[in-house]
Amino acid sequence: MILRLALRSLATHPVRSAVLACGFGLGVAVMATLLGVGEVILIQARAPALRGGGDVVVAGATGQLTFARHILSSVMRRSPLETRVAAAAPASRASLYLVRGDRALPIRARGGVPSLERALGDPETSPVASWTDTPADAAWSAPDPADVLRSMDRFHAIPAVPARAGSWAEWLYFNGRAGDTRFYLTFLVGPRQAGGRQAAGVRLQLERGARLESFAQVADVDEAGVLTGAPDLTIGNSSVRLDGLRYDIHLDLPPGARAPRVTGELSLEAVAGRSMPPLTIRGSGGWLSGYVVPVMSGRLRGFLTVAGERVPLDGGSGYHDHNWGFWEGVTWQWGQVQHGDLSLVYGRVRPPADAADPERIPGFLAALGPDGPVGYSGEVAIRETSDAVTLRPRGIVVEGRGASLAITMELNIQDAVTTTMPKGAFGGGMDFLQLRGRYRVAGQAGNRRIDFEAPGAAETFRGR
């Protein structure tokens, strides 16, 4: 029937039918050509040579890695990637403007390290012999783990946010365990004072069996000296020095109303690759909070002397992290545990309501092994159970689920140290709880099955 209608139409209107047939044929041909050209363009756009060489592009969740040197010096140089990565090169793109008179011409610029770009087969840099590495490029082409660690653990200038400046604080935190002895140590630098100084203090909490003692010293430090020297830091009679990958800590805290004098010489050995790079959360009104873990797990040595009694710490293990930001109205949940060659850390920061919605800030759970990261998840649930009478936390359950990690951590709280925070500080007048207990950890990280129990630490807040 259709064929008969077509033949009658062709016989009745031969010219119109011929034009229509040519039009349909031309349309199909154009469409086929465009599809073919589009496929070629797509293939070329994906070609490594047109993107500057290489087979894989690594980027952060927001498009830019916050600490690319850490990736180059640790993740790319350890199993399982070490044997599979022939060359790795950092690259940065930015918008520049060529200004001449009253005219401004926007330019899209791309920067990289010439020798590493050539190793990737970049067609732009390869034929230009004059493009050679500068001395500063060595920090990228051959990153020194000690230099990367020091850069990771640097202190930060106080941002120009007058409304929040009074709540600025930055601190180095250490904890360690040897036998039945455990300590929690903080070197804290607070808000700016007159004459280019900053408030500062050292606090040590020492736990021996069921006995818990606290020691402290308050002082002030030179702001410029902190920015240029930290993590090398001296507060009062105590100090931290970073020598290569080793943190040397000298303590000399004077006696107080209820505490004797305590002195000590400690060292914590960092392991290249067993660290979590810096991350910064930003909110409205200039609010920010930063966090980095330079030492997920390291060898601890040294001793403390309390009222003439020597407390050995040789053969123990330690942890070190570093926090900075504006802390008024801020609370957090945090925990850390080590077992064998595996370290896990979780956390969530809750900003003040005028900075961001606290319920929309994601948490994290990271697992690091002897060769670097094993798994990571930003989908983390942290649930706390409390005693019905005291309302103090009794247990914490942490669940992290992601493409590389599925882990459940259950903390049975054995002890808690409560610090009442004044208004204007972090916690906004709440109680700050430092918790100790045993973690039961089970699940999967990467290709590794996890199932263990080990002592660990946690922090949280409670209203009064």
Alpha carbon distance 287, 12 (integer Å): 79
In a domain, 34, yes or no: no
How many CA atoms are closer than 13 Å to the CA of 309, on its beta-carbon side? 5
CA 144 to chain centre: 19
Check whether residue 304 and residue 353 sit in a common domain. no
Q: Is residue 454 part of a domain?
A: yes
Note the pTM of the prediction, 2 decimals. 0.78
Contact (CB, 8 A) for 234 and 219: no
Distance of alpha carbon 410 from its chain centroid, rounded?
23
Residue 408 phi/psi, 5-degree rounding, is -120, 130
- The HSE-up count of residue 75 (CA atoms within 13 Å, CB side) is 15
- Tell me, yes or no, whether 308 and 384 share the same domain: no
- 349 touches 330 (CB < 8 A): yes
Residue 303 included in any domain: yes
Amino acid letter for position 179:
G
CATH number of the domain enclosing 252: 2.40.370.10
Q: What does the chain come to in residues?
A: 464
Query: Which residue, 325, 354, 370, sits at the end of a domain?
Result: 325
Beta pairing partners, 275: none
Give the type of residue at 255. P
pLDDT of residue 412: 95
d(CA 416, CA 387): 13
Residue 386 to residue 60: CA distance in whole angstroms: 37
- Answer yes or no: do 292 and 359 share one domain: no
pLDDT averages per 10-residue partition of the chain, 464 residues: 61 65 65 63 53 65 68 68 74 84 86 82 77 83 87 95 93 92 94 92 89 90 95 97 97 89 96 85 93 92 94 94 93 91 91 88 87 84 86 89 93 86 64 90 92 92 74
Tally: H helices and E strands in the chain: 7, 23
- Alpha-carbon dihedral of residues 235, 240, 242, 245, nearest 10 degrees? -150
Which among 284, 302, 325 is the end of a domain?
A: 325
Q: What is the C-alpha to C-alpha distance for residues 235 and 227, in angstroms, rounded to an integer?
A: 14
Residue 274 lies in a domain: yes
Same-domain pairing of 312 and 357: no
Specify if 97 maps to a domain. Answer: no
Task: For residues 208 and 259, state if they share a domain.
Answer: yes
Same domain, 155 and 287: yes
pLDDT for res 34: 64
Domain end call among 120, 142, 164: 142
Residues 291 and 377 in one domain: no
Q: What pLDDT, on a 0 to 100 scale, did the predictor assign at position 362?
A: 85
Tokens of 424: 């204007």
Residue 227 sits in the same domain as residue 292:
yes
336 lies in the same domain as 241: no
Contacts (Cβ under 8 Å, ≥6 apart) of 361: 281, 348, 349, 350, 351
Does residue 217 fall inside a structural domain?
yes
**Domain membership flag for residue 53:** no
The total number of structural domains that make up the chain: 3
Give the other-Cβ count within 10 Å of 341's Cβ: 13
Residues 236 and 339 in one domain: no
Domain containing 304: what range? 146-325
Q: Are 217 and 303 in the same domain?
A: yes
Q: Compute the distance between CA of residue 391 and CA of residue 463 in angstroms, rounded to an integer.
A: 10
The pLDDT score that the predictor gives to residue 8 is: 64
The verdict on residue 3 lying in a domain is no
pLDDT at 439: 96
- Considering the domain architecture, whether residues 154 and 226 belong to the same structural domain is answered as yes
Q: How far apart are CA 213 and CA 444, in angstroms?
A: 38
Q: Which of 406, 413, 408 is nearest to 398 (CA)?
A: 408
